[in-house]
Amino acid sequence: MRMDGDESSNIEDRRGSRMIPGGRGGLGLGGIVIALAASYFLGIDPSVVLNGLSMLEGRQPARTEAGPVQASPAEEAQKRFVAQVLRDTEVTWQAVFRQAGREYAEPRLVLFRDATQTACGQGQAAMGPFYCPADQRVYLDLDFFDELERRFKAPGNAAQAYVIAHEVGHHVQNLLGISEKVQRARQSAGEKEGNALSVRLELQADCLAGVWVHHANQQRKVLEAGDIERVLGAASAIGDDTLQKNARGYATPDSFTHGSSAQRQKWFRTGFDAGDIRQCDSFKRGV
């Protein structure tokens, strides 16, 4: 994927910071496993679970101690690409919102290593990239891009851009009030129904990522040969059915929280082909 060089100013670099544990006790591996299980199988934000477990264990919230950023040239190149992708999403969503008579409030993107504090609780790199609606920030440990290539077999910067655009899609949902409505609906729903709502929210974010790619390519010719295939490969690699089959040999559809590989590919393509946010209503259309 070819970016034009303009970088977003909404990058918050915490890579030189470290977490200082708070209070007595410790979360431990068990707490992290619970949080990740909640994320994958219950559709709960793992950062919220981690924060809650810390409170139950009687710990004071951890704090962040800032320090100088030490990064390799390759990592700095990744940072520049992330800032360029974020800037391109800003340009696209500003235009889309303006056409609808609305104002787009730009999110911030936080780069961190291992762990960081968020308004949604303590974020862990093991969660993968995530969006916190409470502080309107996308959180990203750049090591995830290496995992995307090695573990998920999804190489290329187009796959990386898709991941960022998906999280920005959650920001768009937050600005439009969709996230809040879904959260309220999930509070009164059973586990199966709550998971289904989570899937539709995630598929809509995939569709919104496709809308961004559509406009970015139409206006700035960002796509190179094979980029869409690489994005679709990434969407397939992180589908719930693929992740569950790779982890335990079988999939349980009722526990899906992000959608199957086929669904994630379908909704990205829907947004990319149409370039129209109105086509991304995964709540009224069949998934």
Query: What does 175-202 look like in DSSP terms, one character per residue?
Result: HTTHHHHHHHHHHTS-HHHHHHHHHHHH
Q: Name residue, tokens 């206006």.
A: 219
Evaluate whether residue 59 is within a structural domain: no
Name the residue among 124, 143, 208 with its Cα closest to residue 174: 208
| Token representation of residue 53 | 């477990």
Name the residue among 233, 232, 235, 252 with its Cα closest to residue 244: 252
| Token representation of residue 212 | 């961004």
Evaluate whether residue 25 is within a structural domain: no
Evaluate whether residue 75 is within a structural domain: yes
| Containing structural domain, residue 86 | 11-18+66-280
d(CA 82, CA 8): 9
Query: What's the domain count of the chain?
Result: 1
Q: What is the mean pLDDT of each run of 10 residues along the chain (287 residues)?
A: 94 86 46 45 45 45 62 93 98 97 98 96 95 98 96 96 98 98 96 97 98 98 98 98 97 97 98 98 89
Instruction: Give Cβ neighbours of residue 260 (< 8 Å, ≥ 6 apart).
Output: 239, 240, 241, 242, 251, 253
b/e map 130-141, b = 16+ CB within 10 Å = bbbbeebbbbbb
What is the tens place of the pLDDT at every residue in 52-92? 444 444 444 555 566 667 789 999 999 999 999 999 999 99
Evaluate whether residue 70 is within a structural domain: yes
Bridge-based pairing of strands 11-13 and 108-111 is parallel
Evaluate whether residue 49 is within a structural domain: no
Amino acid at 180: E
Evaluate whether residue 35 is within a structural domain: no
Evaluate whether residue 61 is within a structural domain: no
d(CA 195, CA 113): 29
User: What is the pTM (predicted TM-score) of this model?
Assistant: 0.85
Evaluate whether residue 115 is within a structural domain: yes
What is the tens place of the pLDDT at every residue in 8-61? 999 999 999 876 655 444 444 444 444 444 444 334 455 444 444 444 444 445
